[in-house]
Structure formats: C-alpha cells, structure tokens
Amino acid sequence: MQHAHAGLENPEYYVPGLPVDYVASRYGIPQSEIAKLGSAENPHGTSPLAKTAVEACLNDLHLYPSWTADPLREKIASTYGFQAEEVICGAGETEILSLITRAFCPPGDKIQMPGPCFPIYHLFAEAEGRTPVLVHSATNPETMALEVDTYINAIDEDTRVVYVTNPHSPSGTWLTEAEVRRIIEASPNALVVLDEAYVHYSDTEGYIHLASEYQNLAVLRTFSKAFGLAGLRIGFGVASKQIINALLAVKPTWNMGQLQIAGGIAALDDHAHVERTVQTIIENRDYVQNRFGELDRFRMVEGSRSNFFLIEILDPDTDSTKVFEGLLERGVIVKDGSVSFRGLQDRFLRSDVNLKPHMDRLIDALADLP
C-alpha cells in the first residue's frame, strides 16, 4: 500500500461556513429565516455586469481559454497600473497560495503567518511538507492587532514566505502602509505576500501599488467578496515579472476557464455594485457595533475594517462551540473560532457583517441564549 508523505498522514482540512440548506434541514428552520454569517459572502449577490458577461460567453465553452488567462491579466494590469506580465490569475486566491508555497519555499523551510490566520496558509504549508510558523500577538487582546515588532523578530534565515493579511482574518484589523513597508523591508530573503482579499471593505485603495516598488513582494486579491463572484472562483496576484514567471511554471496549464475570464473582466468595471456593497458593509458594521452594547455576555472586538468581526465570549460558563450550536438552533450561522482558526481557542466566534435584518437576528439570538 502506498503512503502519502508525512505532511499528509493525518491531514487537517479547511472548515467552511455551513450552507443554509444544511441548517434548514437539520433544525427545521425555513431558509428565508436563516442568517448566513459564516462565509463572508456579498450581501447583494453577484456583480450584474459579470453575470451578463458570463451568459454571453456560454457558446464558447467548447474552446480552450488562454492558458495564462491573458485577457483577464491585461484587464487587471490596466485597472491597477501594472503590465500584464506582472499579473497571475488563479481559481480563487487559494490556488495562488498553493503556487506560492511550491515555487518559493523549499520542503522543510518556513512559511510565517500571523496567528490566528486564514487556515489555508498553514494547511497548504503542511500538505506540501513545509513548516508553518504562526506568530501570535501577546499585548493587543482588545483588538488582536498584529504586533509588527514581534512579527519581524520572528523572521528567520530559513523563512521563505511571510504572509501579511490586510485587513486581517479573523479579526479584521488594519495595518498602516508604514507598518507593511517595515515587514517587507525586514524580509530580504523571503517573499512577502500581502493578502488584500478584503481590502475593499477598508474603504481605502489598499497597498497594491507597493508591488511596483519591492522585488520581494506579491499582492493578492480576490473577486469572491466585493464583486460577489465566490462561486466563479477568480483570484489574482501582482508582482515582479520574475516572481510571476516562477508561479506560471508551477500553475496548472488551463486553470482559468472562459467563464471566469469573462466574468472577471466585466466585474472590474462594475463600480456601482462594489460601491453599493462597501457602503452596506460600512454602515452595518457600525450598526451591529451599536447593537452589541445591549449585550453583557458578549463583546464585538473593535477595529474591524473588513466584512466580518470577532465576537468575544465574556461569560465563563460557556464556550465558542456551545454558542455556535445555540446560534444554529436559532437560525444563525457563524464560525466557531476553536474549530475554524488555529490558536483562537474557545472564547471567540467570527461573524460576517451583512444586511440589518441578519445583524438583528444575530444580536437577538445571542441575547436569547441560556
């Protein structure tokens, strides 16, 4: 019998947010009465321009796409001020993360990431025989913000990839440009990966421009969130041509289909959809923060610049799994921190920011827990 390598002997898997139909079936709750707050999806749905473009492309499904998704690379490049050869596209950001692991970290070397973090960072590292290093902050319990000095001091000679997530997941906290620059400049022997999956919700332009300044930086973004294309699977990265060439060498040949290319190109012009989404998130982030003032057993961790936030459990007589299950019974889906984020333990849950009725359902359900 063949055995997988050591990193896959007892693999850990990503835990996605539960789907609405599962909760409806398990608890007998009408789907219309369920608040899905565990997947950071767009509350306004798909970009209308992307949907139209995808529909117009259906007759081309018999044709092979460009193996490097060149039409989409060119659109991304012109949108953000790069050359097409400085862009790579993937089936979601997650595919590009796997390419970075293989291309820039030899087996056994280290990939550094904030703790806790997006689980794919360490899951891919372990699956590929690399060593994930989670650097936990110790002095920012109120906001869980990254301690930049601590993070920089943890970088070793054999650290090959350094992740910076901005806004951070699961806390939603934000780093200034100066702080990001410090980390990049402290990592001359590593590729710094600035993950800006949720940057639209920060109400800034983000720091994608830094990829033009630093040869050891790649900036990643996704179409899953503000553009509402999570089901289409489109992500991209920008970096120097040398970095992109290495990623292209390990990329599956046709990783982007005709529909992804067409939908991504159109979505980049759908400014109205993005602006509407961002304003909804910003407004309702403030709204739910105010509503948390009604609770004495739970605290919304302040400072999120994303479309999600952490809920801290203040009641010592319960934990995140009990609260998670209690919310499910009341038609509210969130993420159990102890299951979804390594190192977060059992005092936190992560909830999306969504439409006001869903925010009300979350607060009312928390208040109703025994």
| For residue 139, pLDDT beyond 70 | no
Q: What is the pLDDT of residue 144?
A: 78
Q: What is the pLDDT of residue 266?
A: 98
- 344 within 8 A of 116, measured Cβ to Cβ: yes
Q: What is the pLDDT of residue 162?
A: 98
Q: Between β-strands 217-222 and 191-195, what pairing exists: parallel, antiparallel or unpaired? A: parallel
| For residue 9, pLDDT beyond 90 | no
Chain mean position to CA 203: 16
CA angle 282, 43, 207 (to 5 degrees): 50
- 261 within 8 A of 75, measured Cβ to Cβ: no
Please state, rounded to an integer, the average pLDDT across all residues of the chain: 96
| For residue 10, pLDDT beyond 90 | no
Give the integer Cα–Cα distance in Å for 320 and 339. Answer: 9
Report the amino acid identity of residue 68. T
| For residue 269, pLDDT beyond 70 | yes
Give the integer Cα–Cα distance in Å for 304 and 218. Answer: 23
Cα-Cα-Cα-Cα dihedral sign, residues 310, 311, 312, 313: negative
Q: What is the pLDDT of residue 140?
A: 63
pTM of the model: 0.96
- Token pair listed for 364: 């009312």
How many residues make up the chain in this entry? 370
CA angle 79, 352, 335 (to 5 degrees): 125
pLDDT level of residue 258 (50, 70, 90 thresholds): very high
| For residue 215, pLDDT beyond 70 | yes
> Per residue in 112-126, pLDDT tens?
999 999 999 999 999
DSSP H or E run through 256: none
Taking alpha carbons only, the member of 322, 319, 308, 321 closest to residue 350 is 308
Q: What is the pLDDT of residue 8?
A: 85
Q: What is the pLDDT of residue 344?
A: 87
| For residue 138, pLDDT beyond 80 | no
| For residue 79, pLDDT beyond 70 | yes
Cα-Cα-Cα-Cα dihedral sign, residues 34, 37, 39, 43: positive
Q: What percent of the chain has pLDDT over 70?
A: 98
Helix (H, G, I), strand (E, B) or coil at 86: helix
Taking alpha carbons only, the member of 92, 29, 14 closest to residue 333 is 29
Assess if CATH 3.40.640.10 describes domain 48-269: yes
Helix (H, G, I), strand (E, B) or coil at 197: coil
Q: Region 209-218: what's the mean pLDDT? A: 98
> Per residue in 11-38, pLDDT tens?
889 989 999 999 999 999 999 999 999 9
Report the amino acid identity of residue 57. C
The HSE-up count of residue 358 (CA atoms within 13 Å, CB side) is 24
Domain ranges, ordered by start, for the chain: 15-45+272-368, 48-269
CATH of the structural domain 15-45+272-368, one choice from 3.90.1150.10, 3.30.420.40, 3.30.70.260, 3.40.470.10: 3.90.1150.10
Q: What is the pLDDT of residue 5?
A: 81
